[in-house]
Amino acid sequence: MANSKFEYVKDFEQSDPLLPSTWIVVRIDGRGFHKLSDHYAFQKPNDRRALDLMNAAAVEVMKDLPDLCIAYGVSDEYSFVFPPTCQLFERRNAKLVTTIVSTFTAYYIYLWPTYFPSTPLAPPYLPSFDGRAVIYPNTRILRDYMSWRQVDCHINNLYNTTFWTMVLQGGMTNTDAEQELKGTVSSDKNEILFKRFGINYNNEGEIYKKGSVLYRQYELVEPKATPSTEDEASVPEAKQSRSQQDKLKKLRRKAQVVVDHVDIIKDNFWARRPWILSGTP
Ligand code: DGT
Ligand code: MG
Ligand code: MG
Ligand code: MG
Ligand code: MG
């Protein structure tokens, strides 16, 4: 096809590939969910339906993009992780982020009636999400990123649980509860919950305390006892044989995506599921 005189405009497009052999995390976050959760009367501090809906949409994203190896969600956010070997969309930043954001949003809206059957969505309160990609140079830092999100979940949930118990059960005003909680540490909040309301924070639901972690579970593959080395994980997929790549992709597609609410800070979770970080499959 002959070039038109307009074609030079293509030269204005900028390439945005993410650094090779690094972990890619795409984190999405609900836009204005403070207002949205009020409008649709989400339960405080946690609405199980809203969290289940977030998880259901994230499972569909994992199924749609077999390159993803793990995802972690809390509140109105989700982090999706691509391994260093990933070559999806030539690792182009905008392609990866926009695909995840729009696929997630599409499923969130599509599945909404399943989780909120008597609360139809209506403008102007339509859910939308922002997203960004961050790269991490090694597995240690990737794990620190995941730990950071889970610690955040814990801190926020302990605060929110205490705050809303003081307001809803203790009859305090928002301002008074906020004032009393200012400067308190975890043990203070645990004590308020226990001494004043007879609530043992440890007995709160795992989904609220730990957030949600999504990964693939393989029926046929026996998990290896020792995690693979980082070297193995960072062999660019381009250097793997075509048939090997196809085989891995097929296995990933067939695998079941599970939703778990467990500690991902300690080694145990990762040691028991070495395939998540090793990229095999
Ligand atoms: P943004 O992200 O800057 O557009 O603003 P927001 O309003 O989305 O703020 P963000 O993301 O920092 O905080 C999430 C908000 O979503 C927070 O105000 C509480 C609300 N939210 C998330 N999950 C639940 C839930 O299960 N129940 C209730 N009541 N609210 C929730
Ligand atoms: Mg945000
Ligand atoms: Mg938000
Ligand atoms: Mg948020
Ligand atoms: Mg196109």
Q: How does pLDDT run across 213-240, given as a tens digit for each residue? A: 999 999 754 555 544 444 444 445 555 6
Q: Is the Cα torsion angle 90, 91, 97, 101 positive or negative in sign?
A: positive
In contact, 46 and 157? CB cutoff 8 Å: yes
pLDDT at position 229: 46
280 burial (CB, 10 Å; 0-12 / 13-18 / 19+) is middle
In contact, 251 and 221? CB cutoff 8 Å: yes
> What is the arithmetic mean of pLDDT over 2-7?
90
pLDDT at position 247: 85
pLDDT at position 226: 47
Q: Whose CA is nearest to atom 30 of ligand 1?
A: 37
Q: Which atom of ligand 1 is nearest to the CA of 31?
A: 4
Interval 20-31: pLDDT, tens: 999 999 999 999
Amino acid letter, residue 216: R
By mean pLDDT, which of 51-65, 131-145, 226-240 is the weakest? Answer: 226-240
d(Cα 152, Cα 88) in Å, to the nearest integer?
30
Q: Is residue 34 a known part of a binding site?
A: yes
pLDDT at position 2: 67
Name the superfamily (CATH) of residues 17-155+206-278: tRNA(His) guanylyltransferase (Thg1) (3.30.70.3000)
pLDDT at position 230: 44
d(Cα 60, Cα 216) in Å, to the nearest integer?
12
> What is the arithmetic mean of pLDDT over 7-14?
96
Is the pTM value of this prediction over 0.90? yes
pLDDT at position 27: 99
d(Cα 156, Cα 76) in Å, to the nearest integer?
12
d(Cα 261, Cα 246) in Å, to the nearest integer?
31
- Could you tell me the pLDDT band of residue 3, with boundaries at 50, 70 and 90? confident
Interval 80-89: pLDDT, tens: 999 999 999 9
Mutation test residue for ligand 1: of 54, 55, 75, the one with most atoms within 8 Å of CB? 75
Indicate if ipTM > 0.90: yes
Q: Is residue 29 a known part of a binding site?
A: yes
Token digits for 253?
């597609």
Q: Which ligand sits closest to the CA of 131?
A: 2
Place of tokens 């391994």: 83
What percentage of the chain reaches a pLDDT higher than 70? 92
Token digits for 16?
């945005």
Mutation test residue for ligand 1: of 28, 46, 76, the one with most atoms within 8 Å of CB? 76
Q: Give the side-chain half-sphere CA count within 13 A for 178.
A: 3
Q: Which ligand sits closest to the CA of 130?
A: 2
Place of tokens 């620190």: 144
pLDDT at position 246: 84
Q: Is residue 75 a known part of a binding site?
A: yes
Helix axis angle, 93-115 to 48-64, nearest 10°:
140
Q: Which atom of ligand 1 is nearest to the CA of 38?
A: 29
d(Cα 120, Cα 18) in Å, to the nearest integer?
39
In contact, 84 and 233? CB cutoff 8 Å: yes
